[in-house]
Structure 1
Amino acid sequence: MDTRWKPSVTVAAIIEHEGRFLLVEEETSEGLKLNNPAGHLDPGESPVQGCAREALEETAHRFEPTDLVGVYLSRTKRASTGEEFTYLRFAFCGRLGEREPGRALDTGIVRTLWLTPQEIRASRERHRSPLLLRCMEDYLAGVRHPLSAITTDDSVFGEF
């Protein structure tokens, strides 16, 4: 019997301030890796809502997505198990809000870091995903799409 291919849908926040990007350092099965504040889209939320939630959970900062940087498809193989994964990522830029005092970082997040584009380019071997660099480069190139490019039908939020 054939099984239907289903990529994992993720959302990512591309957060820049004064020439530095906010990244997270996280524990993975492959060791400590760098990534954008990002994670899986949860049931019952739009990509914009998911991005704001993930940024808050991983950085303890509120984040308001204002533009879609892009939609990305990537495939990876976990070195430790040989398991393959395909990710469909919605990457957003926006406004970073205040840090929530006393809020713990999500499980697995060791710390947040502000890195320059040069530091990010020089640390490719530590990137959790090749999309970290691609999203940053697109952001730096001025790629922006309106949030209206994404439609979340009301059925996502309601009961059947």
Structure 2
Amino acid sequence: MTWAPHVTVATVVEHDGRFLFVYEESDGRQVYNQPAGHLEPGETLIEAAVRETLEETRWQVRPTALLGIGLYTAPANGVTYLRHTFAAEALEEQTNRALDEGIIEPCWLSREELLAREDQWRSPMVLEAVDEYLSGQRYPLELFRPHQ
């Protein structure tokens, strides 16, 4: 058996002290997460972050920096995720778009509002990503370059 982590992306989108989250169904629970999802064949990590954010929140975004790369093994199923978290700027909400299946609604929450919902985080990475953003941690997008 070959082990391979699931390659995922997430975006931290902040506006006026509030962060864009998705409230979604996951494994029979309703949870909060950053807009996030899996890398698909043929796309870059940055393209995946833009696509996932649009599909889950209706927001068109522009990634501005990499916040970090994390490795997380979900205790419920043992799956390991290699998560690339980006800071992104909100550009435009496309209100006529349908949300991905399983998404209840997008929402904007402050860090304090997120803390009050700790029992509903999809994983500990949810707060970690916000705190990475608030700490000013940023890495240039030029770290990602396609193979020539």
TM-score, normalised on structure 2? Answer: 0.96
Answering whether residue 90 of structure 2 is matched by residue 96 of structure 1, we say yes
Which residue number corresponds to residue 139 of structure 2? 145
Q: CA separation in 1, counterparts of 2:116 and 2:138?
A: 25
SS of structure 2 residue aligned to 1:129: coil
User: Which residue matches 1:158?
Assistant: none
Deviation at 1:125, TM superposition (A): 1.2
* Deviation (angstroms), 1:144: 0.3
Question: Matches of 1:148 and 1:112 in 2, distance apart?
Answer: 29
**Any gaps of 5 or more consecutive residues in structure 1?**
155-160
Number of residue pairs matched by the alignment? 148
Q: Write the deviation string for residues 20-79 of structure 1: whole angstroms up to 9, x where unpaired.
A: 00100001114100000000010100000000000000011101101001111111122x
Structure 2 residue identity aligned to 1:61: W
Specify the code of the residue in structure 1 equivalent to 2:43.
E
- Structure-1-length-normalised TM-score: 0.89
RMSD: 1.0
Over 3 Å off, 4+ runs: none
Aligned to 2:6: 8
Unaligned 5+ segments in structure 2 are none
- Provide, for residues 85-123 of structure 1, a one-character-per-residue CA deviation record: whole Å limited to 9, x for no partner: 100001111211111131011110000111110111222
Q: Name the % identity.
A: 41
Q: 1 CA distance for matches of 2:95 and 2:114?
A: 28
For the pair shown, the structure with the greater C-alpha radius of gyration is 1
Task: State the one-letter code of the partner of 1:73.
Answer: L
